[in-house]
Amino acid sequence: MDLRILFLIMFGCFYTGWGEGLPVQYEELTSPELVAAVHLSGGTIVIPLGILEKHGPHLPLGTDLIHVREMVFRAVKQEFSVVFPPYYFGQIYEARHQPGTIAYSPDLVWRLLQETCDELYRNGFRKIILVNGHGGNAHFLSYFCQSQLSVRKNYAVILFKPEEDPVVEAKIKKLRATATDGHAGETETSMMLAHRPDLVHLDRCRDEPGEDRNRLSGLPYADTGIWWYARFPNHYAGDGSEAKEEIGDLILDSGAGQLAELIRILKQDDRILELQDRFYEAAGAPIQMFGVE
């Protein structure tokens, strides 16, 4: 074995600077380097999750994946962790009517993520951080995390939950020009301008309307799967033509800073795993364990 790698495995956590020599992308690591990366990352790994779906008439199908990976790369530059390969399997049934959507069946989407986590654990990672880049995944990923308590796991799944930074929000508010801003709108188009301007077609932003059609108005107290199609049938919410690179950088850097902090803390902090262990033990024998916290 390469002496450098052996040294990394033995002392990696004390010589974090050496991590700069390791690729952060899982698929770019050699097998011996992976062993070192598991140690250097403190057992953490990040899965950025995106999707393949229409993003208005002017952004690429993989927009969410391209954005979330950029944000994660900015984070792991600050705090080393391993980044899982492009992952575009998730909830996107509401865009099946638009060309380019790849929508796997619900049970496959679930199993793929669970087995990916299982395999990462088998390869030494114990703290799996999901970083979501796709709005349609939000409920699925929360439920996925919660469901990890249903069967004993020796690893933790952590969903990254970025928080609004009032300073960043105020700066964005000053720069923003449009009032309605959602899917493929001003903010999302700005993010692409910030790191992949070659993929933005600003001249096509108004080829289709992105206004809220509100076709289920007058139906209160109801949630239904067709709600998004009812409001935004073009799978476009807002107007991307006012996008600005500065807005994109503010969002990407703010998310990256918070994610880097989470990785840094998780490397040292084993409380999730410890509490899970206690919980699974109690859940296996609730009567015998009654009163034990």
Helix axes 31-40, 3-11, angle to 10 degrees: 20
Report which residue's Cβ sits closest to Zn ion: 64
Rank residues 231 and 264 by Cβ distance to Zn ion and give the closer one.
231
Question: What gap in Å lies between CA 263 and CA 276, rounded to an integer?
Answer: 19
- Whether the CA torsion 164, 169, 172, 176 is positive or negative: it is positive
Quick one: 63 or 254, whose CB is closer to Zn ion?
A: 63
Q: What does each C-alpha distance from 34 to 10, 157, 284 come to in angstroms?
A: 14, 20, 34
Select 65 or 266, whichever has its Cβ closest to Zn ion.
Answer: 65
How near is the Cβ of 70 to Zn ion at its closest, in Å?
Answer: 13
Residues 43-72, mask of contacts with Zn ion (x by CB under 5 A): --------------------xx--------
- Give the integer Cα–Cα distance in Å for 25 and 177: 36
Looking only at residues 194 through 213 of this chain, which bind Zn ion when binding is defined by CB under 5 A?
Answer: none
Site for Zn ion in 238-267 (CB under 5 A): none
Site string for Zn ion, 141-160 (x = CB under 5 A): --------------------
Question: What is the side-by-side order of every strand in the sheet holding 127-132?
Answer: 82-83, 44-49, 127-132, 156-159
Least distance to Zn ion, CB of residue 53, Å: 7
Q: Which is nearer to Zn ion, 42 or 136 (CB)?
A: 136
Cβ 50 to Zn ion, closest distance in Å?
Answer: 8
Q: What's the token pair of residue 271?
A: 């409380």
Residue nearer to Zn ion on the CB measure, 66 or 259: 66
Q: For Zn ion, which is the closer residue by CB, 156 or 252?
A: 252
What sign has the CA pseudo-torsion 242, 243, 245, 251? positive
CB 46 within 8 A of CB 72: yes
Q: How far is the CB of 117 from Zn ion (least distance, A)?
A: 24
* Minimum CB distance to Zn ion, residue 292 (Å): 45
In the structure encoding, which two tokens stand for residue 199, read together?
């993929």
List of residues contacting Zn ion (CB under 5 A): 63-64
